[in-house]
Amino acid sequence: MSIKQISVFLENRPGALYAMTGVLAQNQIDMRAFSLAETSDFGIARIIVDDVYKTTTVLKDAGYVHNVTPVLGVAIPDVPGGLNKVLQALTDAQVNVEYMYAFLGGKDTGHAYMIFRVADNAAAAAALAKRGIQVVEQEEMEQL
């Protein structure tokens, strides 16, 4: 019920991100979603990819510090109030969102996709299911 997000430690300096995307490009890795959090001296690139095992292997070989975190992927109808409905379900269930980011759903143009980082994925997924909101599985994500 969760999706594997890879978080990568990067220094905040010119070319650091480019070097990492270079590694992914060389290895034909397709990113599904991407978000960057930063301070003045370092940043964390959070990515969702088509092949988690291959990506972590090539990142490790290239010397990147990284980890894999289970996050929640949600497909939201691309209409006004779509996100609000999802957040309401989470709020009612007292689920705190540590961070979130959006991305486009590839060939699927009817939905916007969101990634949610929460403390308890199972509880959050159950709260969403109660309101008829389905989470996206890893396999679906890989095929988008």
Partner 1 sequence: MERYYQPEIETASREQIKAWQDERLVKQVRHVWDNVPYYRKKMEEKGLTPDDIRSSDDLHKLPFITKADLREAYPYGLVAKPLKECVRIQSTSGTTGKRVVAFYTQHDIDLWEDCCARAIMAAGGTDEDVCQVSYGYGLFTGGPGLNGGSHKVGCLTIPTSSGNTERQIMFIKDLSATILCCTPSYAAYIGETMKEMGLTPDQIPLKAGIFGAEAWSEEMRQDIQNTLGIKAYDIYGLTELSGPGVSFECSAQTGMHINEDHFIAEIIDPDTGEVLPEGSKGELVFTSITKEAFPLLRYRTRDICMLTREKCSCGRTHVKMCKPMGRSDDMLIIRGVNVFPSQIETVLLNHGYPANYQIIVDRVKSTDTLDVQVEMTPEMFTDNMGEIAKRQKELVDGLRSMLGLAAKVTLVAPKTIVRSEGKAVRVIDKRKI
| Interface with partner 1, residue 57, by CB under 8 A | no
Residue 100 interacts with partner 1 (CB under 8 A): yes or no? no
Q: Which is nearer to partner 1, 6 or 90 (CB)?
A: 6
* Interface with partner 1, residue 9, by CB under 8 A: yes
Give the binding range for partner 1 (CB under 8 A) out of 66-74, 86-94, 108-116, 134-142: 66-74
Phi-psi region of 30 (alpha: psi -120 to 50; beta: other; left: phi over 0): beta
Contact characters 21-40, partner 1, x per CB under 8 A: ----------------x-x-
Choose, by CB under 8 A, the member of 26, 57, 67, 134 that binds partner 1.
67
Four-CA torsion 119, 123, 127, 133, nearest 10 degrees: 80
Instruction: Examine residue 69 and tell whether it contacts partner 1 (CB under 8 A).
Output: yes
Q: Which residues bind partner 1 (CB under 8 A)?
A: 5, 7, 9-11, 16, 37, 39, 41-42, 44, 46, 63-67, 69, 98-99, 117
